[in-house]
Amino acid sequence: MIRVLIAGLGNMGLSHALAHHRDKGAEVVGLVNRSGRVDHRDLAAYPVFTDFQEALTTTQPDLVVIATYSDSHADYAVAAMTAGAHVFVEKPLATTVSDAARVVATAQETGRKLVVGYILRHHPSWVRLIEEARALGGPYVFRMNLNQQSAGAAWETHKALMQTTSPIVDCGVHYVDVWCQITDAKPVSVNGMGLRLSDEIAPDMYNYGQFQVTFEDGSVGWYEAGWGPMMSETAFFVKDVVSPAGSVSIVEEGKASSSDVDGHTKVGGLLVHRPDGDTRIALPDEPGHQELCDAEQAYMLRAITENLDLTRHMQDAVQSLAICLAADESIRTGQPVSLAARLKKDTI
């Protein structure tokens, strides 16, 4: 039985806690929440802590699931692994590339397993999209976005997230990770631009951004993300990969509003286009958000019990974060960012 401590009980943390609550191979030994409250009845019997270090010392877990705000991810992960626990940490791994590399180095030094919450890696439809794109052959054009017309409680959550992380970093790491799995080429440069569209967020933050990436194999990528009540619902979910041999795209069938969490991962179907004709791939019975979180945590437990090699997983996590942070830097400075030297410095 693997003893599990969950830190953070927001949307993702709650789902991860429920996954372990229902898994016969796991035992939840504690929950960490700043309010000291647990609002879900299935989790009400577990000990609740407001201090992470106290929870870590008291419960002595085998696994720590970190789903707190981004600026605490690196320090919490290092503290957990140093204390002897394996770690699942929500994306992004850290808020700087050097901190991300520090977390990975700690995993390697301690021999602990480190899994980053790239939920699309556990989604069968996205796995199929990657397979279809790779079958086309590169170089590739990646066109992806995720704009969210948030209001009320969702807008409050987005404003809280933007105190530490921009939309293009928080959401972008998922899709850049997909690009990197498709092309396998090293990123070369990043150019970004963004805009602050609300007086309700800090003067040095922006709630809309987009960036372009070039890769060593000639592939190029575009990503766009925006949060807030002003965002458009038109073309808010574009997922498209193009190559000289054709293209593969997510087909939006009955797409819900941009604020629907399940809709952010839902595929519906794929359209594979080649010059000699199109192929539609139906993808019925897709997993929902909770099912995907269940799959993530099942993989985490398997990584521990089967001693899975996570080297490539960790390398990809650092690389996708580096690309998105470079985009954030480009937006703030107005200058393109070269990634070659930066990634070499933080290679793991």
Q: Which of 83, 101, 117 is the last residue of a domain?
A: 117
- pLDDT in the model for residue 258: 42
> Is there a single domain that holds both residue 126 and residue 8?
no
Give yes or no for residue 132 having a pLDDT over 90. Answer: yes
> Is there a single domain that holds both residue 279 and residue 131?
yes
pLDDT digits (tens, 9 = 90+) for 34-63: 988 898 999 999 999 999 999 999 999 999
Contacts of 43 (CB under 8 A, 6+ apart): 14, 17, 18, 21, 28, 31
- pLDDT in the model for residue 153: 92
Number of Cα atoms under 13 Å in the Cβ half of residue 220: 5
Is residue 70 one of the residues assigned to a domain?
A: yes
CB contact at 8 A, 106 and 252:
no
Residue scoring higher pLDDT (286 or 180): 180
Counting residues of the chain whose pLDDT is more than 70, the rounded percentage is 93
Range in 129-138, 162-171, 329-338 with the lowest mean pLDDT: 162-171
Domain hosting residue 267, numbered range: 122-287+322-342
**Distance separating alpha carbons of residues 327 and 340, to the nearest angstrom:** 14
Give the bridge partners for 145, in sequence order: 224
pLDDT digits (tens, 9 = 90+) for 136-169: 999 999 999 999 999 999 999 999 989 888 999 9
193 is written with which tokens?
């631009």
Range in 117-121, 137-141, 205-209, 336-340 with the lowest mean pLDDT: 336-340
Burial bucket for residue 312 (CB in 10 Å: 0-12, 13-18, 19+): exposed
- pLDDT in the model for residue 137: 96
> Is there a single domain that holds both residue 241 and residue 335?
yes
* Location of structure tokens 């194999």: 217
> Is there a single domain that holds both residue 137 and residue 98?
no
- pLDDT in the model for residue 175: 95
Question: N- to C-terminal Cα distance for the chain?
Answer: 31
Residue scoring higher pLDDT (341 or 298): 298
- CATH code of the domain containing 281: 3.30.360.10
pLDDT digits (tens, 9 = 90+) for 15-38: 999 999 999 999 999 999 998 889
> Is there a single domain that holds both residue 58 and residue 100?
yes
Is residue 292 one of the residues assigned to a domain?
A: no
Q: How confident is the model at residue 344 (pLDDT cuts 50, 70, 90)?
A: low
Is residue 317 one of the residues assigned to a domain?
A: no
CB contact at 8 A, 52 and 37:
no
- pLDDT in the model for residue 201: 94
Q: Which of 117, 133, 165 is the last residue of a domain?
A: 117
User: Do you know the residue count of the chain?
Assistant: 348
- pLDDT in the model for residue 321: 94
Stretch 321-330: mean pLDDT: 96
Give yes or no for residue 285 having a pLDDT over 90. Answer: no
Q: What value does the mean pLDDT of the chain take?
A: 92
Is residue 82 one of the residues assigned to a domain?
A: yes
- Please choose, from the candidates 156, 107, 146, 335, the residue with its C-alpha nearest in 3D space to the C-alpha of residue 252: 146
> Is there a single domain that holds both residue 141 and residue 95?
no
Q: Total structural domains in the chain?
A: 2
- Model confidence, pTM: 0.88
Is residue 27 one of the residues assigned to a domain?
A: yes
> Is there a single domain that holds both residue 279 and residue 132?
yes
Residue 218, classed as helix, strand or coil, is: coil
* Location of structure tokens 């959550």: 157
pLDDT digits (tens, 9 = 90+) for 236-264: 889 999 999 999 999 865 455 444 545 54
CB contact at 8 A, 250 and 128:
no
> Is there a single domain that holds both residue 77 and residue 163?
no
Q: Which of 117, 145, 165 is the last residue of a domain?
A: 117
Give yes or no for residue 290 having a pLDDT over 80. Answer: yes
> Is there a single domain that holds both residue 131 and residue 189?
yes
Counting residues of the chain whose pLDDT is more than 90, the rounded percentage is 82
Stretch 175-192: mean pLDDT: 95
Give yes or no for residue 341 having a pLDDT over 80. Answer: no
> Is there a single domain that holds both residue 155 and residue 255?
yes
Residue scoring higher pLDDT (65 or 36): 65
> Is there a single domain that holds both residue 111 and residue 147?
no
- pLDDT in the model for residue 265: 52
Is residue 310 one of the residues assigned to a domain?
A: no
57 is written with which tokens?
């010392």
Range in 11-15, 88-92, 233-237 with the lowest mean pLDDT: 233-237
Cis amide linkage into residue 229, ω under 30° from 0: no
Is residue 293 one of the residues assigned to a domain?
A: no
> Is there a single domain that holds both residue 256 and residue 128?
yes
**How is 242-307 classified by DSSP, letter by letter?**
EETTEEEEEE-SS---TT-TGGGT---EEEEEETTEEEEEE--S---HHHHHHHHHHHHHHHHHTT
Is residue 294 one of the residues assigned to a domain?
A: no
